[in-house]
Structure 1
Amino acid sequence: MIPKLLFFVLGLCFIPGLLAQGTLTEPKGVLLTRFTYGAQLPAGTLKERFGANFIAGGGLDWQWGKKNWVLGIDGQYLFGNTVKEDPISGLRTVEGYIVGNDREVADIPLRERGWYLGLTAGKVFPVNDKQSPRAGFRVNFGVGFLQHKIRIQDDPLRSVPQLTEVYKKGYDRLSNGLALQQFFGYQALSKDRRSNFIAGLEFFQGFTRSRRSFDFATQSATAKGRVDVLMGIRVGWILPFYADKAEDIYY
């Protein structure tokens, strides 16, 4: 009787260990908070309007299961200083200056501004399942909304009545529309949770059109469709929130 009872107690002691081993092959999931920064080059119709730009943003991803599927939301802010088009050329003098109300030269720089917001779906292909089952090569595909415009920065010391907030909309060439996104890179989630980052190549294809009913520079309405392409690199830091315990994953 005593030996049977002893074996029963020992069996109960080993059950938690067996259950923990089962969770090793079936991780519950992890919520990934991303903070990213990158640089891009334009192509397509966007190359005619802007030069290289920077991009900053972040997102939330849910990665789960043995297959390491990923679903998430991504938001990014685009900004740059190279504008190839000059929508306010009609306001300039022969020498290329813009004169304010006080008859002094006003400094009116042009800037690129824009943003992207979309949903992503992808997969992580682990390099070493035992050491870090959620880290490896990552492929994402997304769909969302892309917008960009020319920002006309006023000279705070000079007043230019043609460039008040009401009239700026006739010059900024605001464009937006549906966009596709692709990301190919590497995701690192270390066992000690101290080295978590993502880096890779990113591409956008925006099917946009002008959203202003009238362009003051061309004196016409511009409704022609555009294909705005962006290509660049993006790196970032990841803050993970695990749904299961570290010892259940790596033990």
Structure 2
Amino acid sequence: MKLINGIRAGAMLLLLCWSARGIAQEYGEFDINRGNGVLYHISYGGHSPGGDLGRRFGNHFSVGTGLEWITDRGNWLLGAEMNYFFGNQVAENPLSALITDQGFIIGNDRTFADIQLRMRGFYAGAHVGKLIPLGPRNPRSGLRVTVSAGLLQHKIRIQDDPLRFVPQLDDEYKKGYDRLTNGLAFTEFVGYQILSTNKRINFFAGLELTQGFTMSRRSFDFDTRTQDTASRLDFNVGLRVGWVLPFYVGERASEEIYY
């Protein structure tokens, strides 16, 4: 009888240990990416402009960074971000008045200077959004939707010839040619984000749309000899991918279960 009771007790203990192991695996795995959290990210994007922005620049790229808070209940997102734009496709040439009949700009030594035009800009704003789970296994992976409001700024960067100085393009004179423009802008993002249960794979990827209500911020353009006072509507469409570094806070995030 004692042998039978011992076997029963051993079986019950084994069953309890097995159940505890399964619970620890299930809840321990899920809880490692649960709780309120701070998400830091770096990202890279490729963009195609439209509207007034498309008449000035061609396709370009961006690098970005951001910081946001994700809530334990509802996966709501609240944060800030900044993206730096760069490219070498410039459709508008503000230096046309300096170009000779041969198509060159003359340097101070009376020889042709190599002047390049580049696109530069940034977007800085604050966003709100939500992470919508697409399955029961990981409530922190699914559809990421955010909307943002902030400042969009862009200009034409005039890259000098390092061997030949052009007096008309001295640093102070460049302001009369660079078309510095900025204004209120809105950005929407729709994509997929995963915050893995083991914290090893954390990224997002998706479609980004920007609408900018901008104006020229220069008081005088040298090539047109006027001030540009027109309102602009800048569009930017792109794909953005980012790597996320999560930091979870709260009781559930700090618990560790051993078995």
Q: Deviations 1:29-57 (Å, cap 9, x if unpaired)?
A: 11100100010000011110000000101
Cα distance in 1, alignment partners of residues 99 and 248 from structure 2 = 58
* Partner residue, 2:11: none
Given that 1:191 and 1:250 are in contact with CA atoms closer than 8 Å, whether structure 2 keeps it comes out as no
State whether structure 2 residue 94 is matched by structure 1 residue 87: yes
Cα distance in 2, alignment partners of residues 232 and 28 from structure 1 = 32
* Partner residue, 1:149: 155
Cα distance in 2, alignment partners of residues 182 and 250 from structure 1 = 39
Distance 1:161 1:58, change over 3 A: same
Q: Kindly state the Cα deviation for residue 139 of structure 1 after the two structures are TM-superposed.
A: 0.3
State whether structure 2 residue 225 is matched by structure 1 residue 215: no
SS of the residue corresponding to residue 48 of structure 1 reads helix
Q: Kindly state the Cα deviation for residue 28 of structure 1 after the two structures are TM-superposed.
A: 3.1
Return the match for 2:64 from 44, 57, 62. Answer: 57
* Partner residue, 1:226: 232
Matched residue type, 2:159: Q
Cα distance in 2, alignment partners of residues 220 and 66 from structure 1 = 55
SS of the residue corresponding to residue 169 of structure 1 reads helix
Cα distance in 2, alignment partners of residues 127 and 200 from structure 1 = 15
Given that 2:153 and 2:183 are in contact with CA atoms closer than 8 Å, whether structure 1 keeps it comes out as yes
Given that 1:45 and 1:227 are in contact with CA atoms closer than 8 Å, whether structure 2 keeps it comes out as yes
Q: Deviations 1:202-232 (Å, cap 9, x if unpaired)?
A: 0100000000000011110101000000000
Matched residue type, 1:164: D
State whether structure 2 residue 57 is matched by structure 1 residue 43: no
TM-score, normalization by structure 2: 0.84
Given that 1:135 and 1:190 are in contact with CA atoms closer than 8 Å, whether structure 2 keeps it comes out as yes
TM-score, normalization by structure 1: 0.87
Cα distance in 2, alignment partners of residues 246 and 108 from structure 1 = 55
Given that 1:37 and 1:234 are in contact with CA atoms closer than 8 Å, whether structure 2 keeps it comes out as yes
Q: Kindly state the Cα deviation for residue 246 of structure 1 after the two structures are TM-superposed.
A: 4.5
| Match runs of 1:1-251 below 5 Å | 27-129=34-136, 131-244=137-250, 245-246=252-253
Q: Percent sequence identity over matched residues?
A: 52
Q: Gaps spanning 5+ residues in structure 1: where?
A: 1-16
Given that 2:44 and 2:241 are in contact with CA atoms closer than 8 Å, whether structure 1 keeps it comes out as yes
Q: CA RMSD in A?
A: 2.4
Matched residue type, 1:92: I
Q: Kindly state the Cα deviation for residue 89 of structure 1 after the two structures are TM-superposed.
A: 0.6
Distance 1:112 1:250, change over 3 A: farther
Q: Kindly state the Cα deviation for residue 161 of structure 1 after the two structures are TM-superposed.
A: 0.2
Given that 1:185 and 1:201 are in contact with CA atoms closer than 8 Å, whether structure 2 keeps it comes out as yes
Q: Deviations 1:105-164 (Å, cap 9, x if unpaired)?
A: 1000000000010000000101224x3222210100000000000000010100100000
In the alignment of these two chains, the number of paired residues is 231
Given that 2:144 and 2:192 are in contact with CA atoms closer than 8 Å, whether structure 1 keeps it comes out as yes
Q: Gaps spanning 5+ residues in structure 2: where?
A: 1-22
Given that 2:35 and 2:253 are in contact with CA atoms closer than 8 Å, whether structure 1 keeps it comes out as no
Distance 1:142 1:60, change over 3 A: same
